[in-house]
């Protein structure tokens, strides 16, 4: 069915008769529901006189036929004789509304039953006519009024549930959808997640480029957020530069943090604002539903997590940590390894292969927490819990020592590096260098086999100098440094200045490398410079052999992901490595 807005505009601008307009813009035209054949012919004649001989009219005699015709669509309006439909009453109107809530309806009533017409309008009809008083003029006026009234009603109904600027759901709709999602979750239909997102430094856009530019940015952000979630999930604008997102059917926090990463990557692509090009950064708080959570409670948790993300440096995300979780982690200060095992932690290793696929170059350590309430947590989600519980000073030395010790057991390839992620904030601590020296004194391993991995957030402007000094001191010990997701904030000039040995390329750099010549050229520029500087370039999540061939041709030196192999339990990794060395995996 053509939109009512389009119908109204066409009538105003093209100057055609209403009948010609209905015929051209709506193949089905008007539906007349009239059980009396003689009365149907009389009303049909008035329609022809009012709208012109070309107006398309479908006449049906029963409510069941009317329902079927309405469900077929392509109708501009329905004329419904309620008094002539045996025993139908207002139920007939409700059935047509249920079949198509967008359809304008004019009810026809007898002189003696005007109250039926009034009740029909209160029940949702757009107008009513007394059958004995119908003529060409009153019929035309009623049709035009009903279409315009339905257009206004539809607009008001939309504004009641949507943000007028972006078209996203508003707070009212979000809270209703969230409440229903929580009910489904209580019945066992997966976890619910709420993300609270606040744009960083949005006020600067309004102040420097004007409010029109700010509105344009908000609308583009809305579209990018929608592209990062599934069709049945909800993106809403809370107001100002705040958005909330409803995620459903989650297995754990890892599913939600994957969405957060997609969002941060999508927003980092510059947005054209007139002559300016600006990337967008956001702080995201994530909360997962727990039993008996209300919509207000889980949204408040996500809001609190968002403020924690802002405090940790903006442009990132944080997962809400309950007080019970903090208390759990507070118990690991004694025997850290045993305490973590008892809480469901496990160490896994993801292999990294050279482009020639002959040998493994490194194994990236992954600390996974199989939390009974939050589900599987990895990476940032795990470290944020440790940070909140204030046990990083106990966990990090154990973590580095555990990974270094495991690497000494990889007898099939005794020179294989182990890549160890370390939270940026902890790596900057003055005591970190001393802790590294203690590890090397207790574990007999060459420092060059240890590769510490940080994020680009470590190198943000306000702490870049301190970070570079610390990284230089680390490399002076013989330890390698890797940067995760390179290319989001750092540029090509940073490669020459930073003391790094490996970069894991940002997913945005490697996206569409097999189909886009522009993206391929951009990636090749980064890889060529890295190769000249003897920096290893790692592509994450290589999914297909076609992608692998393209990346090798460009010059990438290392691959990980599906075509290489999944992350393996620490007990299983030496077996995998031995099979690789013997040729069983080739």
State the residue range of the domain holding 29. Answer: 4-160
d(CA 407, CA 445): 8
d(CA 365, CA 357): 20
**What pLDDT does residue 323 have?**
57
**CB of 177 closer than 8 Å to CB of 234:** yes
Q: What angle do CA 251, 257, 258 make, to 5 degrees?
A: 85
Q: Tell me the pLDDT tens digit for each residue of 22-41.
A: 443 345 588 999 988 888 89
**What pLDDT does residue 376 have?**
62
Over the chain (586 residues), the average pLDDT of each successive run of 10 is 35 41 54 89 87 84 88 87 68 85 87 78 88 85 87 80 90 92 86 93 82 91 94 92 94 87 89 79 90 89 84 74 60 65 84 88 89 64 77 89 94 93 91 92 94 87 84 96 85 85 87 84 93 93 79 93 83 92 74
d(CA 305, CA 301): 6
What tokens appear for 317 in the block?
A: 């995300």
d(CA 154, CA 141): 20
Mark whether 199 and 307 lie in a shared domain: yes
Q: What is the DSSP string of 296-326?
A: HHHHHHHHHHHHHHHHTTSSSEEE---HHHH
Task: Fill in the DSSP letter of residue 164.
Answer: T
Q: Is residue 327 part of a domain?
A: no
Q: Is residue 382 part of a domain?
A: no
**What pLDDT does residue 586 have?**
57
Q: Is residue 517 part of a domain?
A: yes
- Would the pTM count as exceeding 0.75? no
Q: Is residue 339 part of a domain?
A: yes
**What pLDDT does residue 92 have?**
81
Q: What angle do CA 325, 331, 337 make, to 5 degrees?
A: 105
Q: What angle do CA 564, 568, 572 make, to 5 degrees?
A: 115
Q: In terms of Cα–Cα distance, which of 398, 480, 468 is closest to 438?
A: 398
What tokens appear for 304 in the block?
A: 């609190």
Helix axes 63-72, 90-99, angle to 10 degrees: 20
303: CATH: 3.30.70.270
d(CA 481, CA 191): 37
d(CA 102, CA 98): 9
Mark whether 280 and 348 lie in a shared domain: no
Q: Is residue 261 part of a domain?
A: yes
d(CA 151, CA 157): 10
Q: Where are the beta strands (DSSP E) in 279-394?
A: 282-288, 317-319, 345-354, 360-371, 375-378
Q: Tell me the pLDDT tens digit for each residue of 408-421.
A: 999 889 999 999 99
Q: In terms of Cα–Cα distance, which of 424, 400, 418 is closest to 489?
A: 424
Query: What total number of domains does the chain contain?
Result: 3
How many CB atoms within 10 Å of residue 112?
Answer: 10
Mark whether 452 and 507 lie in a shared domain: yes
Mark whether 11 and 147 lie in a shared domain: yes
Long-range contacts of 237-243 (CB under 8 A, 24+ apart): 237/163, 237/165, 237/166, 237/168, 237/169, 237/170, 238/171, 238/174, 238/196, 239/171, 240/202, 241/198, 241/199, 241/202, 242/196, 242/197, 242/198, 242/199, 243/168, 243/196, 243/197, 243/198
Give me the sign of the Cα torsion angle 60, 63, 69, 75. Answer: positive
**What pLDDT does residue 16 have?**
40
Mark whether 307 and 414 lie in a shared domain: no
Q: Which of 135, 160, 185 is the last residue of a domain?
A: 160
35: CATH: 3.40.50.2300
**CB of 481 closer than 8 Å to CB of 499:** yes
What tokens appear for 127 in the block?
A: 């107008």
Mark whether 434 and 545 lie in a shared domain: yes
d(CA 475, CA 451): 10
**What pLDDT does residue 243 have?**
96
- Greatest Cα-to-Cα distance within the chain, rounded to the nearest angstrom: 103
Mark whether 308 and 437 lie in a shared domain: no
Mark whether 456 and 495 lie in a shared domain: yes
Mark whether 426 and 571 lie in a shared domain: yes
Q: What is the DSSP string of 27-56?
A: TT-EEEE-S-HHHHHHHHHHHHHHH-TT--
d(CA 1, CA 157): 18
- Positions marked catalytic: 241
Task: Fill in the DSSP letter of residue 506.
Answer: P
Mark whether 137 and 31 lie in a shared domain: yes
Q: Which of 257, 291, 320 is the last residue of a domain?
A: 320
Mark whether 206 and 145 lie in a shared domain: no
How many CB atoms within 10 Å of residue 169?
Answer: 21
**CB of 224 closer than 8 Å to CB of 278:** no
Q: Which of 98, 125, 160 is the last residue of a domain?
A: 160
């Amino acid at each position: 069915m053509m939109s009512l807005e389009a119908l109204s505009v066409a009538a105003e601008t093209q100057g055609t008769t209403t009948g010609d307009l209905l015929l051209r813009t709506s193949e089905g035209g008007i539906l007349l529901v009239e059980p009396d054949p003689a009365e149907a012919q009389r009303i049909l004649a008035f329609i022809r006189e009012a709208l012109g001989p070309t107006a398309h009219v479908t006449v049906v005699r029963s409510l069941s036929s009317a329902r079927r015709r309405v469900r077929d669509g392509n109708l501009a309006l329905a004329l419904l004789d309620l008094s002539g439909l045996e025993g139908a009453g207002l139920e007939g109107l409700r059935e047509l509304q249920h079949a198509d809530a967008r359809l304008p309806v004019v009810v026809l009533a007898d002189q003696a039953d005007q109250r039926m017409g009034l009740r029909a309008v209160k029940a949702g009809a757009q107008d009513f006519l007394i059958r004995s008083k119908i003529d060409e003029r009153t019929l035309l006026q009623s049709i035009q009024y009903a279409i315009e009234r339905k257009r206004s009603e539809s607009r008001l109904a939309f504004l009641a549930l949507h943000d007028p600027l972006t078209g996203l759901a508003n707070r009212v709709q979000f809270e209703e959808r969230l409440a229903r999602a929580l009910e489904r979750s209580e019945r066992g239909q997966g976890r619910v997640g709420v993300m609270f997102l606040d744009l960083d430094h949005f006020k600067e856009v309004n102040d420097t480029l004007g409010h029109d530019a700010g509105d344009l940015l908000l609308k583009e952000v809305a579209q990018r957020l929608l592209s990062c979630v599934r069709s049945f999930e909800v993106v809403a604008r809370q107001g100002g530069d705040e958005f909330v997102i409803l995620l459903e059917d989650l297995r754990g926090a890892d599913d939600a943090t994957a969405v957060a990463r997609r969002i941060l990557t999508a927003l980092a692509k510059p947005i054209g604002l007139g002559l300016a090009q600006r990337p967008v950064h956001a702080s995201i708080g994530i909360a997962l539903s727990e039993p008996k959570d209300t919509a207000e409670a889980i949204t408040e948790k996500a809001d609190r997590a968002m403020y924690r993300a802002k405090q940790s440096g903006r442009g990132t995300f944080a997962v809400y940590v309950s007080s019970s979780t903090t208390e759990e982690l507070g118990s690991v200060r004694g025997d850290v390894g045993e305490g973590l095992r008892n809480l469901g932690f496990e160490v896994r290793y993801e292999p990294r292969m050279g482009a020639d696929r002959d040998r493994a170059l490194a194994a990236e350590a992954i600390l996974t927490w199989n939390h009974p309430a939050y589900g599987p947590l990895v990476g940032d989600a795990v470290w944020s819990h440790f940070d909140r519980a204030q046990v990083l000073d106990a966990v990090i030395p154990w973590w580095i020592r555990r990974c270094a010790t495991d690497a000494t057991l990889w007898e099939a390839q005794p020179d294989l590096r182990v890549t160890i992620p370390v939270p940026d904030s902890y790596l900057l601590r003055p005591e970190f260098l001393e802790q590294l020296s203690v590890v090397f004194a207790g574990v007999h391993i060459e420092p060059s086999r240890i590769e510490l991995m940080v994020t680009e957030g470590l190198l943000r402007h306000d702490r870049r100098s301190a970070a570079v000094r610390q990284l230089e001191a680390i490399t002076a010990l013989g330890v390698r440094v890797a940067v995760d997701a390179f290319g989001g904030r750092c540029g090509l000039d940073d490669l020459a200045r930073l003391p790094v040995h490996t970069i894991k390329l940002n997913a945005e750099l490697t996206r569409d490398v097999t189909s886009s010549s522009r993206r391929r050229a951009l990636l090749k520029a980064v890889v060529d410079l890295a190769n000249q500087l003897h920096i290893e370039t790692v592509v994450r999540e290589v999914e297909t052999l076609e992608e692998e061939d393209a990346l090798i041709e460009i010059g990438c030196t290392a691959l990980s992901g599906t075509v290489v192999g999944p992350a393996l339990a620490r007990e299983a990794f030496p077996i995998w490595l031995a099979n690789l060395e013997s040729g069983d995996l080739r």
